[in-house]
Amino acid sequence: MFRHTKSCKREEETECREKPKKTDQELTADNVKKLLQHSSDILFRELYINGQRDLPVTMVFIDGVADKKAVDDYILKPLTQEMSLSRSSSMAEIIERIRHGTLYHASQKVRHDFSDCICDIIDGAVALIFDQVNTAVTFDIKGFEKRSVSEPTGENVIKGAKDSFVEDLRTNTATVRTKLKTDRLVIEETRAGRQTSTKVSIVYIRDIANEHMVEEVKKRIERIDTDAVLTTGVVEEEVTDHRFSPFPQTISTERPDKFCSNIVEGRVGILIDGLPVSLIVPGTMESFLHAPEDYAQNFIVSSIIRFLRFALVFITLFLPGFYISVSSFHTEMIPTELALAITASKEGVPFYTFVEVIFMLLAFEILVEAGLRLPKNIGQAVSVVGAVVVGQAAVEARLVSPAVVVIIAVTAISSFTMPSQDFSNALRLWRLIFAILSSIIGLFGLSIGAIILLHHLSNIEVFGVPYLSPFVGGDHKDMRDSLFRLPLFMQYKRPISLRTTNKKRRGGS
């Protein structure tokens, strides 16, 4: 079920986040200047329309955000040279002429409210303020430098589109539009953050996405009450149901093709201005083990790779704990020759097996963190050289046995196969918990840990969708694209668990 949310004055809260606090100030150039005069990058320029002193206007914009060349060509030039403006009998008539194309710009708004005008200026618009009628006309002429669309840096692309999201929201929405050319694609915009007033776009396909899910996403985003929305974590924490779970409940990606494929499936997307990463809800465990390349190659190969990926989840979770259990508590389970080999490799090592394993797990986590924080080229060298040198030195110094190094290496490599880094981080945490429980009571501790984990995952619901779907509840037909990927012609329905309005992928609109 959807989480209960407070409805206290929802419309008023949304309005507060979309614009500065309402005031009774008149919309005049002096009032705007009093509020914004402390900022050196906000420019004020007094002009006379067509050189006539009885037709004054004040232009306000933020230097570096507005495109100065466009301001000169499309606003200043016609404002000072267009004869039809000078023939106007009143300011109201001038504004009416501007509205109907005397100034050459497609995106313009007429503002009568002081707060609305200030909001547009801060957002990067150019404002023409007419004091005589307490009215402003704002033009959306942004021209600041932004990063061009490039290949994704956080997600490798094997067979697929090489473009990625960037920090500019409008570029991202345009990218989505170019891939989903349907009139049913809806992009709704709101704002979050008291100080940042960050634009947040909610993306879904009408008549496919569940309406209740869409409304719930809107409510949760509008409920964000914080100073700044500068990272995805702020939005992600607010829209998730189980905040104290280490497992991710929103899919994050910088790939537009992955984003659009999830939207078509019936999920809801979130784009945040200033961030090159998008969010998709709801996220289930199955979705974090699927990769876009699964659909770009032969279904037999994809099925084998996907099954291997699911198997590696269990290996990276349970292998260290299992090794501690059988080598310390249940040695009768090990074949004699293997037991003798393990015993021989431990000769001279002064520590218990569980101490070796936990020490190596922590050392591995430190190396991974060091590789992430250092510059890219140096980080790769530290990760590779550090793992080889530290592992070899630890074995030669008799601090750990070679068998433990092999176990930790297999565990680490298994975790690297996860398509989602957030999901991999959750597995790393639980892997350490399993190792500690196994060091206490062996396989019994490992079993208890597995039951606790299964109970935890079973209790998670994301917007009413079970986290373990389609393996629990739902319909068996969802299994056609879960553990294995069947041919696309057999996947004629969208996931049952999403409760989409239009359930057909094929033969339906």
CA 79 – CA 73 distance, rounded (Å): 10
- Positions of E strands within 87-132: 108-111, 126-130
Same domain? 206 vs 173: yes
**Do 351 and 430 lie in a common domain?**
yes
Is the pLDDT reported for residue 12 higher than 60? Answer: no
- Mean pLDDT, residues 363-374 taken together: 81
The pLDDT of residue 63 is above 70: yes
Q: Which of the four pLDDT bands, split at 50, 70 and 90, describes residue 229?
A: very high
pLDDT at 136: 94
Q: Where are the beta strands (DSSP E) in 344-486?
A: 461-462, 465-466
Residue 384 pLDDT: 65
Domain boundary among 283, 317, 350: 283
pLDDT at 493: 85
| Number of separate domains in the chain | 3
Q: Record the pTM.
A: 0.85
pLDDT for position 13: 41
Report which of 153, 151, 152, 154 is spatially closest to residue 424, judged by C-alpha positions.
Answer: 154
What is the rounded CA–CA span in Å between residue 303 and residue 297? Answer: 10
Chain centroid to CA 487: 29
Regarding whether 304 and 279 lie in a shared domain, the answer is no
Residue 422 in any domain: the answer is yes
pLDDT for 178: 93
Q: For 289-310, b where at least 16 C-beta lie within 10 A, e where not — what string?
A: bbbbbbbeeebeebbeebeebe
Higher per-residue confidence, 8 vs 346: 346
Q: Tell me what the mean pLDDT of segment 472-484 comes to.
A: 77
Domain identity same for 269 and 330: no
pLDDT at 51: 80
pLDDT band at residue 18 under the 50/70/90 scheme: very low
Separation CA 356–CA 492 (nearest Å): 51
Same domain, 278 and 308: no
* 196 and 344 belong to one structural domain: no
User: Do 100 and 78 meet the contact criterion of CB atoms below 8 Å apart?
Assistant: no
The model's pLDDT over 420-442, given as tens digits with 9 standing for 90+, comes to 999 999 999 999 999 999 999 99
Whether residues 50 and 88 share a domain: the answer is yes
Q: Residue 404: inside a domain, yes or no?
A: yes
Are 385 and 409 members of one domain?
A: yes
For the segment 267-314, what is each residue's pLDDT rounded down to a tens digit?
999 999 999 999 999 999 999 999 988 898 899 999 999 999 999 999
Q: Final residue of a domain: which of 283, 315, 350? A: 283
Q: Which of 235, 252, 283 is the last residue of a domain?
A: 283
- 17-38 mean pLDDT: 76
pLDDT digits (tens, 9 = 90+) for 166-215: 999 999 999 999 999 999 999 999 999 889 889 999 999 999 999 999 99
Residue in the structure block whose two tokens are 């289930």: 284
Report which residue type is found at 236.
E
Confidence label for 397 from pLDDT (cuts 50, 70 and 90): confident
**Which residue type sits at 228?**
A
Please report the pLDDT score of residue 151 as a whole number: 85
Given a cut of 80, is residue 388 above it in pLDDT? no
**Over pLDDT 90: what percentage of the chain?**
48
Predicted pLDDT of residue 14: 42
In this structure, the answer to whether residues 337 and 428 fall within a common structural domain is: yes
Residue 22: band (very low, low, confident or very high) from pLDDT cuts 50, 70, 90: low
Residue 394 pLDDT class (50, 70, 90 cuts): confident
Q: Using an 8 Å Cβ cutoff, are 238 and 224 in contact?
A: yes
Report pLDDT for 379. Answer: 67
211 is a domain residue: yes
Let me know if residue 347 belongs to a domain: yes
Are 460 and 358 contained in the same domain? yes
Distance CA 479, CA 198 (A): 39
Identify whether 156 is part of a domain.
no
The reply to whether 213 falls in a domain is yes
pLDDT digits (tens, 9 = 90+) for 132-143: 899 999 998 887
Domain that holds residue 188: 169-283
Is there a single domain that holds both residue 311 and residue 418?
yes
In whole numbers, what is the pLDDT of the chain averaged over residues? 86
112: in domain: yes
Span of 35-49, 87-101, 470-484 with lowest mean pLDDT = 470-484
- Residue 24 banded pLDDT, cuts 50, 70, 90: low
Q: Residue 479 domain-assigned? A: no
One domain for residues 275 and 329: no
